[in-house]
Structure 1
Amino acid sequence: MSDRTLPRSTPAAQGVDASGVHAFLDALEADPEIEPHSLMILRHGRVVASGWWAPYTPERPHLLYSLSKSFTATAAGLAVAEGLIRLDDPVISYFPEFEADITDRRSRAMRVRHVASMASGHDAETFDRAHAIDPEELVRGFLLLPPEREPGSVFAYNQPATYTLATILQRVTGQSLTGYLRPRLLDPLGIGEVAWIRDGAERELGFSGLHASTDAIARLGLLHLQDGVWEGERLLPEGWVTEATRALVANADGTPEGALSDWQQGYGFQFWRSRHGYRGDGAYGQFCLVLPEHEAVIAMTAATKEMQEVLNLVWEHLLPAFGPGPLPGGQDADTALGERLARLALPPAAGKAAPPERAEAWSGAEFMPYGGACADQPTLTAVGVGADADGWSLTLTEDGHRLALRLGGDGWTVQDDGPVPTAVSGGWTDAHTLVADVAFLETPHHLVVTCSLADRTFMARWRTEPLHGGPLHAMRAPRGSV
């Protein structure tokens, strides 16, 4: 997180009713399908409410999944301003080595603006098909897959389209996305450390994989709310934000349900239109929500499959809280809200201390996957439970890597000194069963590990499935990114 803090204000001074924020927090915390990790609310360019649910903290980066796309689109806006790319250039013109291979008329007609707006002409996601065509070069596989419709005529959420845009940017700049963005966007906005997952070609993915703080999300949203201007300096070309955040391609299905869906309001350059304002978002509840009509930005991270419900709660509770002017007499309510936000915490998993009568049996016990393999994490081959002078520990073993975790008391035990930042809660549910909830703190994901002493087996399940896969020791922001 940056040392340059955003301006702050009380909610009442910016016309925000604290009771609406309380109601939103109540609704989030009451829904068992939503696990909030962080929230920042900005009004009139000032932070009026912010909080992190322990064990999550302000400075820690969080995997943004497809919210990464909005950062990629912002890089595209900068590259357009510098004359490095043109939106109406054919995509194939940036890949002359594929010129002889790409013969389909529609593939050759695809423009940069089409891949930037998910309007390549394909009528469905192409990732698996493009990867099957060329496992080594996704752009080539994508371009070899003929679009079913004319480019620009149909919307389809399509990862290779954004990956192609990101590859073009990395080619014309000769840098990684983060390297290009650092002096042009990240430093001017005061965004500190970020990290982006790379593929086998050593390219930053563009369509996913960015790890950044909630503060970084808020700053991206505020830049767009301010039409690309930051502290009096224009960073994005004039008109870019308007173009990038309008409905460039329609995606509604015409049903009453579709009218209530925030995923059927149109799509811009890697930004979704919403029933109110527009947003970048990522799987499992990563949001950068911009509300120009209220001069507000809402940044969130979470772990939930119910992303539409999160937005429904925003519309129900936060929108009515945005008033036209300062609210007199709100000091007590603002103070109470600030105190609540400062003590936010996720409830730890239930569990008791090790049963004394079985402590000897548990100490040093090894557990194998129930049924011979762990379906949720096949590389996880063994779990060990141990005890020493510092207490109990859990060791997860996969492909020769051992992840040692401390089992603490009643709350979350945070561990930053291992290969991956984690927080663990839980304990023994009975003399024969140990349940540990392992939160991988730089991602939205928890792995729940259950050990059975009776048959020396374990089960492990993800609460939300990691979309990038990979081993447990890689469940963190990449280190050493430029």
Structure 2
Amino acid sequence: MSATLTAEKLPPLPAQPVGVPWPTDEWPLGDLPPNMDKARFARLMGHAFAATPPADLGETFGVVIVKGGRLVHEQYAADHGPDVTCPSWSKAKSITHALAGILAGDGKLDIHGAADVPEWQGAGDPRRAITLDLLLRMSSGLAFREDYVPEHPSDVIEMLWGAGKDDTAQFAASFPLAHEPGAYWSYASGTTNIVSRCLARAAGAHGSDFEAFMRARLFEPLGMTSPEPKFDAAGTFIGSSFCFCTPRDFARFGLLYLRDGVWEGKRLLPEGWADYARRPTWQQADAENPYGAHWWLGIAGDGSFSANGYEGQYTVCVPDLDMVVVRNGKTPLEQRENPRAWIAEVVDCFRGA
């Protein structure tokens, strides 16, 4: 049931406009488009950055908007700024997707082969049928409970701060199947940490060595100087949740995917890898929102795709507008849908008055 790289036609990804420099060293600046709804846009920004954080959004730390490869709007709360790192939470999952692409491009990873998970190699273990593709599409079938309310049974809280914190991948890989692999979609942070360890094994690098790989192959080519990835005691990048960055660097990462994995004329991600991220995964009818491969779909209109994180962290790519929108903040759990709606409204301002 997992989608393939060629299963469906996707809207094209825009190339970097001729004459617009890449933001490797610094962001080229631009103006807001004259035909956008500037009054509505100003109201939305005023609401988000009100002196007293609004109840429906909570705190907004920073917003960065890139259009046509240029930084056209940037705004921060009083205690933040362009050099202050913000939490990624689950936006780190999309960074993990990029690292998987780099290793696949190196020929060290086969996403359609069985995942390299030692805990699943016993004779007759049904988890041996789980591929890396199924993990990236959150379709492994593992019985992992993704809940962020402390008093609720939560495997993700136990993984990050409880019994699983020293070896997040081993903890996540220990769960049995609840469904046949590929037959059920279930968003699970444990899945990403299993992927992260698979990447480390493929690269032959753990802990500081894997961090050096991340920096040399992904962050440094983009000019991302702020990332702070976190590792567990076993040396696995906690790709489910922890890669702090500035909003500008989150925007650089979004632009890489909007540019189809190409940066300054050099292909960093394999051809088709960005399309793989945004190709819809099969989901059962009651699934929460459309999903691709470690990227969410449709937050800002058809064809948009996004890295989403807890408490309202978003990096949204909008191909038809050649646009990246980053929002970092701290939104209460009970208001978690509101930043999505706010971002959709912001993007809609650029579709014309």
The TM-score bracket by the shorter chain reads: 0.7 to 0.9
Are the aligned partners of 1:42 and 1:298 in contact in 2 as well (CA < 8 Å)? yes
Map of 2:216 onto structure 1:
183
1:32 to 43, 55, 66: 55
1:205-354 pair list within 5 angstroms: 205-250=238-283, 252-253=285-286, 263-265=288-290, 267-275=291-299, 276=301, 277-305=304-332, 306-323=335-352
Matched, 1:87 2:120: no
Given residue 324 of structure 2, which amino acid in structure 1 is its aligned partner? V
How far is the alpha carbon of 1:209 from its aligned partner? 1.2
TM-score (norm 2): 0.80
1:364-379 pair list within 5 angstroms: none
CA distance in structure 2 between the partners assigned to 1:289 and 1:227 by the alignment: 14
Given residue 140 of structure 2, which amino acid in structure 1 is its aligned partner? S
Given residue 310 of structure 2, which amino acid in structure 1 is its aligned partner? A
Matched, 1:72 2:66: no
How far is the alpha carbon of 1:59 from its aligned partner? 0.8
Q: Which moved more, 1:75-84 or 1:142-151?
A: 142-151
How far is the alpha carbon of 1:123 from its aligned partner? 5.4
Matched, 1:112 2:132: yes
Q: Which moved more, 1:160-169 or 1:199-208?
A: 199-208
Q: Secondary structure at the match of 1:24?
A: helix
How far is the alpha carbon of 1:112 from its aligned partner? 0.8
TM-score (norm 1): 0.59
CA distance in structure 1 between the partners assigned to 2:231 and 2:92 by the alignment: 13
CA distance in structure 2 between the partners assigned to 1:198 and 1:294 by the alignment: 36
Mark the CA change 1:156 to 1:100 in structure 2 (over 3 Å): closer, same or farther.
closer
2:184 to 154, 161, 165: 154
1:372-387 pair list within 5 angstroms: none
Unaligned runs of 5+ in 2: 1-22, 147-153
Given residue 264 of structure 1, which amino acid in structure 2 is its aligned partner? N
CA distance in structure 1 between the partners assigned to 2:255 and 2:121 by the alignment: 44
Are the aligned partners of 2:169 and 2:236 in contact in 1 as well (CA < 8 Å)? no
Map of 1:128 onto structure 2:
155
Matched, 1:20 2:3: no
Q: Secondary structure at the match of 2:327?
A: strand
Unaligned runs of 5+ in 1: 328-482
CA distance in structure 2 between the partners assigned to 1:270 and 1:25 by the alignment: 29
How far is the alpha carbon of 1:137 from its aligned partner? 4.4
Structure whose CA Rg is larger: 1
Task: Give CA-to-partner distance per residue, 1:410-436, whole Å, 9 cap, x none.
Answer: xxxxxxxxxxxxxxxxxxxxxxxxxxx
Task: Give CA-to-partner distance per residue, 1:149-185, whole Å, 9 cap, x none.
Answer: 1211211111111001000111221334432221222
Map of 1:10 onto structure 2:
31
CA distance in structure 2 between the partners assigned to 1:32 and 1:99 by the alignment: 46
1:399-418 pair list within 5 angstroms: none
CA RMSD after TM alignment: 2.6
CA distance in structure 2 between the partners assigned to 1:142 and 1:52 by the alignment: 36
CA distance in structure 2 between the partners assigned to 1:229 and 1:188 by the alignment: 10
Task: Give CA-to-partner distance per residue, 1:273-329, whole Å, 9 cap, x none.
Answer: 124211101111111011112211101110102232112122234313334xxx9xx
How far is the alpha carbon of 1:18 from its aligned partner? 3.0
Map of 2:13 onto structure 1:
none
Are the aligned partners of 1:287 and 1:301 in contact in 2 as well (CA < 8 Å)? yes
How far is the alpha carbon of 1:136 from its aligned partner? 6.0
Mark the CA change 1:144 to 1:313 in structure 2 (over 3 Å): closer, same or farther.
closer
Mark the CA change 1:100 to 1:65 in structure 2 (over 3 Å): closer, same or farther.
closer
Are the aligned partners of 1:38 and 1:302 in contact in 2 as well (CA < 8 Å)? yes
Mark the CA change 1:102 to 1:243 in structure 2 (over 3 Å): closer, same or farther.
same
Are the aligned partners of 2:36 and 2:351 in contact in 1 as well (CA < 8 Å)? yes
CA distance in structure 1 between the partners assigned to 2:297 and 2:308 by the alignment: 11
Q: Secondary structure at the match of 1:62?
A: coil
Are the aligned partners of 2:258 and 2:317 in contact in 1 as well (CA < 8 Å)? yes
How far is the alpha carbon of 1:252 from its aligned partner? 4.4
Map of 1:43 onto structure 2:
67
Map of 2:14 onto structure 1:
none
Given residue 211 of structure 1, which amino acid in structure 2 is its aligned partner? F
CA distance in structure 1 between the partners assigned to 2:232 and 2:123 by the alignment: 23
Task: Give CA-to-partner distance per residue, 1:391-448, whole Å, 9 cap, x none.
Answer: xxxxxxxxxxxxxxxxxxxxxxxxxxxxxxxxxxxxxxxxxxxxxxxxxxxxxxxxxx
CA distance in structure 1 between the partners assigned to 2:331 and 2:224 by the alignment: 26
CA distance in structure 1 between the partners assigned to 2:223 and 2:238 by the alignment: 23
CA distance in structure 2 between the partners assigned to 1:136 and 1:61 by the alignment: 24
Specify which structure has the higher proportion of strand: 1
Are the aligned partners of 1:218 and 1:299 in contact in 2 as well (CA < 8 Å)? yes
